[in-house]
């Protein structure tokens, strides 16, 4: 069985992390799993070089790269030469590349297209671009139901929840003090953390800042981790809410798993999500989570049982839930933490990859 994972663009986000994990763990399961990507995608190359076969189709410079004839010819040649059974387009933009070259392929593999958010594709995309897909994989039940009800025939949609790397995201309490010392955070300070690229219109960082402005009397520090969280725009937002002395924009970091160990409460203000891997990672680490109910998050986060949840955009309720989390006694914190870890264990990347392998067998029983 041979699989080509196609990704677009550069940088790092939840989509890129999931693409990386699926590609790598398919290979670990004995599948010939390879990846096609831009030659300037340095983050992915660094993580996968020497672990799976990488194939490059030009450089990513802008959205126009998806219609660059040179890039398209290179991708066509990669697929023709590889003779793949399946091609997974890990995002809508990745599918643009695959759709352009599909009619010209010598041997047509089965196409699996990923949908990672509740945003519905347009009419032309549904009728033309996604027509080449044998299956459309939704990363949560919420996304899957939306696709079935509004976009695609139910038999074309497959629900495969995204997975997390539980070998990396797990409780390691013995490093807490060392990491906090490295960050300059005292034991008396409550350390809050959010992991998301700086996109206030989608990831809701300003919802978090509004909530924090209501509890400024508490001794907290807030870490924002992700691309752009150290930008001038982010710093201006901290200052706008008079929280510049409480909030730290860390930018993109490779040590998120360690930063979580040092933290007390994970806060997530998103307006739109597929499944929110960052929330699951925090839960797997045993953190107390306060999150909005965006997308597929309510499928696993149960208010008062394994974390706390508020309606999208409700910063006052978020402030109340943060205060509830701060004031809980140790027994209650331990109970919620234990439940969070147990819940997150159901979302391992191994489980996700098992479901992909079952899908391959369903689509091509002869393999």
- Give the model's pLDDT for residue 367: 67
Strand partners, 5: 35, 88
- Give the model's pLDDT for residue 63: 81
With pLDDT > 90 as the criterion, what percentage of the chain qualifies? 90
Please check whether the two domains, 2-163+348-363 and 173-347, share a CATH topology.
yes
Residue 60 CA to residue 227 CA, distance in Å, equals 18
Q: What is the DSSP-derived secondary structure letter of residue 189? A: S
Q: What is the CATH number of domain 2-163+348-363?
A: 3.40.50.2000
Q: Are 213 and 349 in contact (CB under 8 A)?
A: no
Residue 313 CA to residue 69 CA, distance in Å, equals 43
Residue 267 CA to residue 103 CA, distance in Å, equals 46
- Average pLDDT in the 173-201 region? 95
Q: Are 267 and 208 in contact (CB under 8 A)?
A: yes
Q: Is 142 exposed, middle or buried (0-12, 13-18, 19+ CB in 10 A)?
A: buried
Six-digit token string for 162 = 């995204």
Closest CA to 286 of 319, 310, 263, 267: 263
Would you call 41 helix, strand, or coil by DSSP?
A: coil
Residue 61 has pLDDT above 90, yes or no: no
Digit-coded pLDDT (tens) for 310-343? 999 999 999 999 999 999 999 999 999 999 999 9
Sorting pLDDT into bands at 50, 70 and 90, what band is 149?
confident
Digit-coded pLDDT (tens) for 280-292? 999 999 999 999 9
DSSP strand pairing (133-138 vs 110-115):
parallel
- Give the model's pLDDT for residue 151: 80
How big is the chain by its Cα radius of gyration, in Å?
Answer: 21
- Fold of domain 173-347: Rossmann fold (3.40.50)
Residue 283 contacts by C-beta under 8 Å, 6 or more apart in sequence?
Answer: 289, 300, 301, 306, 307, 340, 341, 343, 344
Q: Are 266 and 282 in contact (CB under 8 A)?
A: yes
Phi and psi at 117, nearest 5°, equal: -145, 170
Phi and psi at 265, nearest 5°, equal: -135, 135
Q: How far apart are the first and last CA of the chain?
A: 7
Would you call 28 helix, strand, or coil by DSSP?
A: helix
Residue 125 has pLDDT above 90, yes or no: no
Residue 55 CA to residue 74 CA, distance in Å, equals 9
Strand order in the sheet with 86-89: 54-56, 32-37, 2-6, 86-89, 110-115, 133-138, 157-159
Residue 75 has pLDDT above 70, yes or no: yes
Break the chain into its structural domains and give their ranges. Answer: 2-163+348-363, 173-347
Residue 107 has pLDDT above 80, yes or no: yes
Q: What's the angle, vertex CA 326, arms to CA 322 and CA 329, rounded to 5?
A: 135
Would you call 3 helix, strand, or coil by DSSP?
A: strand
Strand order in the sheet with 247-251: 247-251, 220-225, 190-195, 265-268, 288-292, 308-310
- The pTM is what? 0.93
């Amino acid at each position: 069985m041979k699989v080509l994972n196609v990704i677009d663009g550069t940088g790092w986000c939840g989509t890129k992390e999931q693409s990386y994990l699926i590609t790598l763990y398919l290979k670990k399961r004995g599948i010939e799993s390879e990846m096609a990507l831009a030659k300037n995608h340095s983050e992915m190359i660094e993580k996968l070089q020497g672990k799976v076969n990488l194939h490059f189709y030009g450089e990513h410079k802008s959205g126009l790269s998806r219609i660059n004839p040179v890039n398209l010819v290179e991708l066509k040649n990669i697929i023709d030469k590889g003779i793949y059974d399946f091609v997974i387009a890990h995002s809508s933009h990745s599918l643009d590349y695959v759709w352009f070259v599909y009619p010209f392929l010598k041997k047509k593999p089965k196409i699996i297209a990923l949908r990672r958010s509740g945003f519905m594709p347009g009419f032309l995309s549904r009728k033309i671009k996604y027509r080449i897909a044998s299956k459309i994989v939704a990363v949560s039940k919420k996304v899957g139901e939306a696709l079935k009800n509004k976009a695609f025939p139910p038999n074309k949609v497959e629900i495969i929840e995204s997975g997390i790397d539980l070998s990396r995201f797990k409780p390691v309490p013995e490093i807490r003090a060392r990491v906090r010392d490295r960050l300059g955070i005292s034991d008396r300070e409550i350390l809050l953390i959010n992991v998301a690229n700086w996109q206030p219109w989608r990831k809701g960082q300003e919802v978090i800042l509004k909530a924090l402005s209501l509890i400024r009397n508490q001794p907290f520090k807030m870490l924002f981790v992700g691309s752009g969280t150290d930008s001038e725009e982010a710093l201006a937002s901290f200052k706008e809410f008079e929280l510049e002395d409480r909030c730290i924009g860390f930018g993109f970091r490779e040590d998120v798993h360690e930063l979580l160990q040092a933290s007390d409460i994970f806060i997530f203000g998103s307006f739109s999500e597929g499944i929110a891997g960052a929330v699951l990672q925090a839960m797997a680490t045993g953190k107390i989570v306060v999150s909005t109910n965006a997308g597929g998050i309510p499928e696993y986060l149960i208010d008062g049982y394994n974390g706390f949840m508020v309606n999208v955009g409700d910063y006052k309720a978020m402030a109340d839930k943060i205060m509830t989390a701060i004031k809980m006694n140790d027994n209650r914190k331990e109970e919620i933490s234990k439940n969070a870890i147990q819940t997150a264990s159901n979302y391992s990347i191994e489980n996700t990859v098992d479901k992909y392998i079952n899908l391959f067998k369903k689509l091509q029983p002869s393999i």
